[in-house]
Structure 1
Amino acid sequence: MEPRFPTRSSTNLMQHFLLLRSQLTDTDMDYERPNVETIKCVVVGDNAVGKTRLICARACNATLTQYQLLATHVPTVWAIDQYRVCQEVLERSRDVVDDVSVSLRLWDTFGDHHKDRRFAYGRSDVVVLCFSIANPNSLYHVKTMWYPEIKHFCPRAPVILVGCQLDLRYADLEAVNRARRPLARKSELVSNSPSCLPVCKVLLPNTTRSCMRAVLEYLYMGRFCSRSDLDAMELIVLANRLCLPHLVALTELYTVTVLTESAMMGTDIDGDVLIYLDMAQFHGAQQLTGWCLHHICTNYNSVCRKFPREMKAKSTENQDYFEKHRWPPVWYLKEDDHYQRARKEREKEDYLYQRRQCKRKWLFWNLPSSPNSNSPSGSSAII
């Protein structure tokens, strides 16, 4: 008795053959193209540092909304098969670099330290090492865990260090993590009006009502409104956190104007300028930083006399800047000191010369007398 095998109709066989052929074509469509170099880029890093979102932004041209950003974070790995099943992703991977056609293949990995990722490191052309700017621990793991692993599996591949989540740099991480939970648990009304929608409460530390009102007036009316209770330095910090460079510039102008007016009225502003300098440099207020440096250099001697400890506590870069741009400069002080010493020596010599002139005696001689003179001697001298 002959064995029976499962049979298919000719139509089904043809459909199955065409399906397999289309899959094989889609799988190898990019490799069949001549003169296209495939670049394998492996993306590694801790969990929840933004690896998958970075890949989606490049490969899928996809951006996430604020609701998706604050939604519950689920660790995901972007599938490399997207290059094989999605024609749009494959087309976006192609580019021309130095007259060479390349296809960039991004490999996403999981961030668990204990898992094995050697399958992803194989034949890697470049490795992108990601860390979160808002999470210092992820940067610490770059040196202690990720870099040694990369050098172990692909020692010759170049490594690119990428900082992600810049928008969360000054945010309250605990508040963001709480907001990543289901939004219904952490929502509250902005006001008592029933028309307001529930939103997530994100705390902004060290922010007063006046600074927040100034930010809202700038966002909605496009102008800067100064108030008596407004702390300019606090507003600069808040505007820098919210990535509002124009508002930072307007606040810098307001701060410089207030300090200049105070100086013209006779108020001592040197101590405030020293405080503003550190804050402005830390929060990226470049114009206010330049003005503070100019004021300190112009009044360098008086500032050093009044605040010697604060001047010595400045950073090395600021100390070098002060020594280079201080007024009066060092060379002028040396020349002035040399001139003063020479002047004192000249005055001393003139004084001694005058004293010698005063001690001298005058000598008077009489003219010779005539022969008919009755004087016993022909001349006389008076000393």
Structure 2
Amino acid sequence: MDIDMDYERPNVETIKCVVVGDNAVGKTRLICARACNTTLTQYQLLATHVPTVWAIDQYRVCQEVLERSRDVVDEVSVSLRLWDTFGDHHKDRRFAYGRSDVVVLCFSIANPNSLNHVKTMWYQEIKHFCPRTPVILVGCQLDLRYADLEAVNRARRPLARPIKRGDILPPERGREVAKELGIPYYETSVFDQFGIKDVFDNAIRAALISRRHLQFWKSHLKKVQKPLLQAPFLPPKAPPPVIKIPECPTPNMNEAGYLLDSPLCADVMFVLQEQDCIFAHKIYLATSSSKFYDLFLMECEESPHSDDTQCNKENTNKDVLTGQLETNSDSDEASLKSPDVKIPPPESSESLNMLEPESGETNSAARSLSSWGKGFVSVHKEMQVNPVSKRTCPVTVVKMDSSVQAAPFKTVLQFLYTGQLDENEKDLTRLAQIAEILEVFDLRMMVENIMNKEAFMNQEITKAFHVRKANRIKECLCKGTFSDVTFKLDDGSIKAHKPLLICSCEWMSAMFGGSFIESSNSEVALPNINKTSMQAVLDYLYTKQLSSSQELDTLELIALANRFCLPHLTALAEQHAVQELTKASMSGVAIDGEVLSYLELAQFHNANQLAAWCLHYICTNYNSVCSKFRKEIKAKSSDNQEYFERHRWPPVWYLKEEDHYQRVKKEREKEDVALNKHHSKRKWCFWNSSAVVA
């Protein structure tokens, strides 16, 4: 298509628009947005600048570009031809200025030097080559005024000068320069697709008005208006920050196995016939094996005068003994109490065989287990020195039968702690026999699978094992079964289990596993903590899930999670708080005051994601929040005050621009009314004079 065809079409005004300005201010992108309808992603906009010149030849070779050049402005058909130029000051641009109808002079609002060059270089050059051509000043890259400058600088090339917050020019700076030069001023953003039509439509108006003065016989140009005002751009609200939950810390089975090898807080000791002694923990064994659950529960029943932290009396009744709980049956779940196990009451002399205490034992009687289960001889309680802490503490002593050897028995215990079995285990046959004797049926099936070359089936067994174990742990936490420590809180007490806490929380591990006095105490006082919050923390440590209690105080839980160094729990509590606040806001409940109270407490307790959400809410609702809580806003920290001023919505610069726009709009409306009255008066005088002559 020939470039001269539009010149031959009647009543189609061809406008040559030259775009000039410094390098990297956004000239070419602005031209492409108008001529090619180019939409760029944010990352493309932030990419390294590549010096380019959009060629006028596009109108010859591209039908789409030619079609988009045609427009109708104030009922005038036009064909807009855009000319791109080099931004280098030393290059010759006189070829571009020739026969130009309008010049669009660009600068970047993120580059103060480009605005300074408008007065010192560009405007003088324009007036030198085309003194009577109208000029329009355009501030490009408006989106950088509210963009995340850190992201912008990361996307730029490494050696590029970073954009600083102080480099961003307010709208009044560009408007002042335009007023000084006597030219219209507009702002654009290719990323937000704002101002592109304003710039070129008003450039066309400026060119047509100039042409109307020179070609007064063109009657179709009479309706062309002078360049219109541009309404200020209201930036979109920033999206609320998303609460990110870090990957849930999976139970560290290796740590549980280490706890067996280094038995901190051990409360049970197995004595083998070879006089080997193996220390272990009731909570790990009881939640992994129904046989050990029954054994330790029976031992508690037979020791009614023992310390409450060693045995919870509330859980020794028959309801608990016959309660339904998942067990290690061959394939299905079974009741907690095995049907073939009969536990007579303590006063039944037929079932109690009182053994003489051996050397090293206390005077407490030992109960015979030979008729209760294979592999077990007796059970009693005595004081023993812990091999790790070197402290004397009460321990349940279980004497094993001679058929139970130390090595395979240790492997069985290792499985009960971790749920894992090494496929390279040497004596699988003996291990299967011990697992059968102790009724650890999961382990027996895993051994059979390995021996049958079907070890892949053990994955499902392991999964089922951990599910059952987790359910039993929940049950023990709820009822306090086999607890060995009691937390004394402000409004009550909660029973817990040191071994599980040591493996779930580094803070607890330091307290119970170190040289602190709490490691040997059965009661630990935790001041300034309420029962509900501590229960939620224990629920999390035992299950890795957040409690859904209605009475839960989220801020108290966040403070406690920060105190115990539990970042995953903190994130869960933050997410819960945001969900509750959002739900209340959507239901019409005013949450402004609550968000203000959350803010600094969240910052103090390192709940950074919740603090960021509160800051976002306050900034995006700044006017309404400030109108109701002005004193509270002013009482916030200086950092928060600075954040409010920088990120408040609508931004201060927009409010100023809106005021200026409304004021100038009213002034222009008054001028238009006065001008219309003047024209009407002139017409009336003309007609009157014509009538007199007639």
Q: Per the shorter chain, which TM-score range?
A: 0.3 to 0.5
Normalising by structure 1, we get a TM-score of 0.43
- TM-score relative to the length of structure 2: 0.25
